[in-house]
Amino acid sequence: MKTKLFLALSLSALLIHSAAGAKVLAAQAERSAPDALSLTWSSPDPVDVYESDKAQVSLKDAHLLARASTDGHYSLDGQDRSRRYFVLVDTRDHDRVEVAERLVPLEQGSNFRDIGGYVRAGGKRVRWGLIYRSGGQPMLTPADVAQIKALGIARLVDLRSNEERVIAPTRITGVPYTAVGYSMAEIMGKASGAQLRNGADVYRNMPHLLAPQLRVIFQDLLSGPEPIAYNCSAGQDRTGFTTAIILTALGVSRDDILADYHLSTRYRRPEWEMPELDAAAHPNDPAVQLFAQYRKAPNWKTPAPLMDADGQPFLRGAFEEIEANWGSVDAYLEKEIGVSHADVVKLRGLYLE
């Protein structure tokens, strides 16, 4: 049952749901091979397929790839890893859906992805190319760094602890960088064993621990729209919580938020999240001890699903904590993060299309 639930959530995350009444459905762009891209969609009508190197472009500035396609599929050469955006237009009612690869295909990156494309009630979609979530970036190749630079990221917020930032500094340079200091020991708290890394009990601390970082991120978002990125080490727990709060503010459904959260199991590459660590040389460093212990597991390169034995997502712990202490995410945003209702309206104007 747990496996079936996980697969269902992962599949739903890959689909960019169309607005009510829209004709172009289930549009997605993903790699069928390292050097091949595949566009797929569903529509009762023929669809024109356009391509651009920029998001939210007018069709006159986009390149037509296929006219009146009825295949529901289009294959492209993906050897060039530069960011590409695709527009699918229903030829009868001119319904338009924009889609891009969710994962940025890096050589030695982990879980670096775009949170665009998700739909809020009323049909508006989160704009592509503006909000990126990621794992740590200490192992990026020069080609990866150049590829990320081409995204035009204006601000980077590092959600990691003091210790993590010292042992695994980011290789992204030339971008305004913000981090709020705390110790890895504050994440561990009283949790132990399997809960130490990502159990629901750890998540209950996140609305408190990460409030300063969220204030920075929402301030950056309200100063936009310019592309921003934020990360932790795996890009799944602290980053997953942060993404959940952003998408909730933008009006995305809880189902889609959880589906995006579970994509980390598919997109993580743990071998690129940390350099080799010598636990004996750093006996008092909680981050070194944690990640060195993690690498001792025989299957450490295979991320585990982010759910407990009952199939409940760990992220629920954070939502339960918010509801118990603030009543709702909206109230949490206003009372703890300083994001007013007027700010939320502004955010939706900036980041929804």
Q: How do residues 86-98 score in pLDDT, each as one tens digit?
A: 999 999 988 899 9
DSSP 227-241: -EEEE-SSSSSHHHH
pLDDT at 282: 87
Query: Which residues make beta-bridge pairs with 42?
Result: 25
Q: Residue 61: CB partners within 8 Å, gap ≥ 6? A: 52, 54
Query: Do residues 308 and 301 lie in contact, with contact meaning Cβ atoms separated by under 8 Å?
Result: no
Q: 103 is written with which tokens?
A: 């994962």
pLDDT digits 0-9 by tens, 119-160: 987 789 999 999 999 999 999 999 999 999 999 999 999 999
CA 192/CA 190 separation, integer angstroms: 7
**Per-residue confidence band for 309, with pLDDT thresholds at 50, 70 and 90:** confident
pTM of the model: 0.90
pLDDT at 10: 42
Q: How many CA atoms lie within 13 A of 142 on its CB side?
A: 0
**Per-residue confidence band for 4, with pLDDT thresholds at 50, 70 and 90:** very low
pLDDT at 292: 86
pLDDT at 15: 41
Q: 57 is written with which tokens?
A: 């472009």
Burial 83-120 (b: 16+ CB within 10 A, else e): bbbbbbbbbeeebbbbbbbbbbbbebbbbbbbbbbbbb
Q: For domain 102-351, give the fold.
A: Protein-Tyrosine Phosphatase; Chain A (3.90.190)
* pLDDT of 280 over the 60 cut: yes
* pLDDT of 251 over the 70 cut: yes
Q: Which of 174, 136, 170 is nearest to 154 (CA)?
A: 174
Mean pLDDT calculated for residue range 248-266: 97
CA–CA distance from 205 to each of 67, 197, 260, 295 (Å)? 52, 13, 21, 25
**Per-residue confidence band for 255, with pLDDT thresholds at 50, 70 and 90:** very high
Q: Residue 256: CB partners within 8 Å, gap ≥ 6? A: 12, 13, 17, 118, 119, 247
Query: Do residues 308 and 202 lie in contact, with contact meaning Cβ atoms separated by under 8 Å?
Result: no
Query: Do residues 126 and 352 lie in contact, with contact meaning Cβ atoms separated by under 8 Å?
Result: yes
For the chain, what is the mean pLDDT? 89
**Per-residue confidence band for 189, with pLDDT thresholds at 50, 70 and 90:** low
Query: What are the residue ranges spanned by the domains of the chain?
Result: 16-101, 102-351
Mean pLDDT calculated for residue range 169-198: 77
Mean pLDDT calculated for residue range 297-305: 92
DSSP 45-79: S-EEEEEESSSS--GGGSEEEEEEE-SSEEEEE--
Q: Which of 167, 179, 136, 158 is nearest to 285 (CA)?
A: 167
Q: For domain 16-101, give the fold.
A: Immunoglobulin-like (2.60.40)
Phi, psi of 327 (to 5 degrees): 100, -35
Query: Do residues 243 and 273 lie in contact, with contact meaning Cβ atoms separated by under 8 Å?
Result: no
* pLDDT of 311 over the 80 cut: yes
The residue behind tokens 């504050």 is 186
pLDDT at 330: 97
Query: Do residues 168 and 275 lie in contact, with contact meaning Cβ atoms separated by under 8 Å?
Result: yes
Mean pLDDT calculated for residue range 196-222: 89
Query: Do residues 209 and 321 lie in contact, with contact meaning Cβ atoms separated by under 8 Å?
Result: no
Q: Which of 105, 115, 146 is nearest to 269 (CA)?
A: 105
Angle formed at CA 119 by CA 6 and CA 123, multiple of 5 degrees = 145
pLDDT at 289: 85
The residue behind tokens 């944690």 is 290
pLDDT at 7: 41
pLDDT digits 0-9 by tens, 44-92: 999 999 999 999 889 999 999 999 999 899 999 988 888 999 999 999 9
Q: Which of 124, 38, 23, 123 is nearest to 75 (CA)?
A: 38
Mean pLDDT calculated for residue range 187-205: 65
pLDDT at 200: 80
Three-state DSSP at 39 gives strand
Instruction: Fill in the amino acid letter for 229.
Output: A
pLDDT digits 0-9 by tens, 5-27: 444 444 444 444 434 445 788 89
